[in-house]
Structure 1
């Protein structure tokens, strides 16, 4: 069973919600964040990336950055930009993009259920990225970015949520990128308890996005337990901020690859090697792969459709993924990309930026070739997590992104 828990959310006053809401801290670098907050004094990036309000040469991981984040949050609270609900609540958060909506339940989830694999992951995390968010959460004494979780089905919750979204929303705005954000507060105790009970029938929750935030939130909770050995398990630090979405509403985009050089191959030699494993068809326009096990290749101003031959396919939940096929059959043996997490010759571009971005970077000479990918499916993600396995890096790109700053969870004393 999955445990969900209401919390007294720290959140923007309604008049400031649109101004506060910001993209997650990890989808931009420091310089991009500095540009994004120009004319936006209340953007949550002032808290999530507090180095933007310090001198340009500031180390983004210095203690001064985390202290600045804490000071900014406290200032926003004093100014009434942020308020806190008086009683524990649940919230509904709907995102609408291109006419398609997904509605999640904003809750606190249990650090023990992450430890016990009820909350399942599908990616490895990096210690340096965890350390940053551990210090951020610990210094602010709050979960500041929600974890994006998915579940297979919960008919009882769906019925309750369908009734709740007919009520007047707490927030309802369209962000600069055209994505709609609507939030409802659920403060009726009977409704809260019915939702809590409904998730007791859900066997697993799956991390869709936010593996580093999740691992960091859990480690802060475990750190607090060490500092307070007489803890009961009911303290707020035993739980962390999450948004739970039904898997069927989620949309994964392609996560495309760019490589700097051909590893010494000529174009002709490289294509000849590819032809041993793939059926290759020149294309007149940019290739959006039409189905699983097909790929687009952009090389020397020409697009090709690649179709994997049967002998390189696999029924294994990870080895059968398109990202695994490309890594195993092309990136490692032909292009000498050993570890895509650390190799500087490969880059990744989320599908939200379009195939034109791939063409631009290859045509400029920055990169030698690009691969467009067929999106990983939610079924593949959950099968990987259920098997206790992990996907290759950059396997999934979810859109739309949850905005940070709409909900904070106070970890208490």
Structure 2
């Protein structure tokens, strides 16, 4: 089974890419999306977060939101804002952030491979978000935001990709408002397409880095539609994806902030941490950005601390319990702060590493939060180890940067 296939993409008309392209739907709330799309009728946020076109009192899951999304998607196509390629192809997608490049291949991934576990997941989905993306894709009759995949480095994919980039100019190349550069090439040569398809067939697995809800929504649409069209080539059997080699993918830290100390004063809280077995606590003169696994920074009452944990060998062998997010949860967040389910508990929040340590300090200094924890980033091989074992990671274990943009490539069903 080939994990990734070529397809006929809808994409912005030449010169409109920067106007159409939008951040992923789930990194902005509705108010932020309204501000970003203000004055730009061609922003794909008007489709992916269509509630911004309606008065704010209307819930984001109201049926009018989905019908508005479809009407605007139809307008984009009718007015030529989006055009469709005449033949199937792959697309090379290069992201550049702070001078670092990562180059992936965009295509449509196999839902069957996802259901069979060759496209592997590492986290649970939230029913409300999964329902929303399923409804949107069903109404649009399209997958409009790519799933971010990664695969173990493959020389054939690398050679084909680099050769194409060296001999062809990108059809679009722009810097977004967050200063991330997006460049895309269309691969339409039949021999190169076949080379890539054969390489994707040989890969033992791909891994979802970001986009679990989109992948789950695609599988639900496939299962709902396959009785009407059981063909193995039916469009509903695939979902839009970009896959990057594991040697290029960057995971940032995903930090934690908690509203209160669960009835403890600062001194008692510090004493309890210091008394934990195999845990060392020491004051730090500077903000703590952990430099290795099992090390944490903590900001409490104008002071930074460094926490180190010497993990037991039997836990180090467990792919989930050896994760730093698990260690913090099991040693401090649950037993000392009473955070039993970080997925649902409103006393905890999560801050992507892209915002820096200053964002943690500000939230505590403002009085909004009582304590903040800085984390060492989860490693990609840790993610793969969890997925290969068929397990899932704790919530908010990974923060991937840079993000793919919605609206640059669209797959219709």
Shorter-chain TM-score: which interval? over 0.9
Helix, strand or coil: the match of 2:226? helix
1:168-196: CA deviations, max 9, x gaps?
Answer: 11110011111000000011111101100
Give the corresponding residue for 1:250.
Answer: 249
* 1:29 matched to 2:60: no
Give the corresponding residue for 1:372.
Answer: 374
Give the corresponding residue for 2:198.
Answer: 197
Give the corresponding residue for 1:280.
Answer: 281
* 1:10 matched to 2:10: yes
Give the corresponding residue for 2:364.
Answer: 362
CA distance in 2, matches of 1:311, 1:95: 39
Q: CA deviation at 1:310?
A: 3.9
1:211-266: CA deviations, max 9, x gaps?
Answer: 0011001111111113x0x5221111111111010011000000000000000111
CA RMSD, 1 decimal? 1.1
1:122-167: CA deviations, max 9, x gaps?
Answer: 0001111110000000000000110000001211111000011121
Q: After superposition, where does 1:125-274 map in structure 2 within 5 Å?
A: 125-166=125-166, 167-226=168-227, 228=228, 231-274=230-273
Q: Structure 1's 68 and 315: CA in aligned 2 closer, same or farther, altered over 3 A?
A: same
Q: Which moved more, 1:373-382 or 1:52-61?
A: 52-61
Contact 1:153 1:202 (C-alpha < 8 Å) held by counterparts: no
- The one of 375, 384, 387 aligned to 2:386: 384
Contact 1:22 1:44 (C-alpha < 8 Å) held by counterparts: yes
CA distance in 2, matches of 1:216, 1:72: 21
Q: After superposition, where does 1:333-412 map in structure 2 within 5 Å?
A: 333-411=335-413
Contact 2:311 2:322 (C-alpha < 8 Å) held by counterparts: no
Contact 1:2 1:118 (C-alpha < 8 Å) held by counterparts: no
Q: CA deviation at 1:309?
A: 3.0
Give the corresponding residue for 2:73.
Answer: 73
Q: Structure 1's 208 and 350: CA in aligned 2 closer, same or farther, altered over 3 A?
A: same
1:31-58: CA deviations, max 9, x gaps?
Answer: 1111111122211100000010011111
CA distance in 2, matches of 1:177, 1:239: 30
Q: CA deviation at 1:64?
A: 0.7
CA distance in 1, matches of 2:269, 2:12: 54
CA distance in 1, matches of 2:130, 2:51: 17
Q: CA deviation at 1:283?
A: 1.0
Contact 2:293 2:324 (C-alpha < 8 Å) held by counterparts: yes
> Is there any run of 5+ residues in structure 1 with no aligned partner, and where?
none
CA distance in 2, matches of 1:353, 1:115: 35
Give the corresponding residue for 1:89.
Answer: 89
Q: CA deviation at 1:23?
A: 0.5
Q: Which moved more, 1:294-303 or 1:261-270?
A: 261-270
Q: CA deviation at 1:271?
A: 0.8
Helix, strand or coil: the match of 1:109? strand
Q: CA deviation at 1:2?
A: 4.2
Helix, strand or coil: the match of 2:16? helix
CA distance in 2, matches of 1:310, 1:383: 18
Contact 2:172 2:184 (C-alpha < 8 Å) held by counterparts: yes
CA distance in 2, matches of 1:256, 1:139: 36
TM-score by length of 1: 0.97
TM-score by length of 2: 0.97
Contact 1:156 1:198 (C-alpha < 8 Å) held by counterparts: yes
CA distance in 1, matches of 2:411, 2:50: 19
Contact 1:20 1:43 (C-alpha < 8 Å) held by counterparts: yes
Helix, strand or coil: the match of 1:14? coil
Helix, strand or coil: the match of 2:107? strand
Contact 1:91 1:107 (C-alpha < 8 Å) held by counterparts: yes
Contact 1:2 1:203 (C-alpha < 8 Å) held by counterparts: no
Q: CA deviation at 1:314?
A: 2.8
Contact 2:386 2:393 (C-alpha < 8 Å) held by counterparts: yes
> Is there any run of 5+ residues in structure 2 with no aligned partner, and where?
none
CA distance in 1, matches of 2:319, 2:339: 22
CA distance in 1, matches of 2:2, 2:98: 32
Q: Which moved more, 1:42-51 or 1:271-280?
A: 271-280
Give the corresponding residue for 1:330.
Answer: 332
CA distance in 1, matches of 2:312, 2:209: 31
How many pairs were matched up?
A: 409
CA distance in 2, matches of 1:221, 1:47: 22
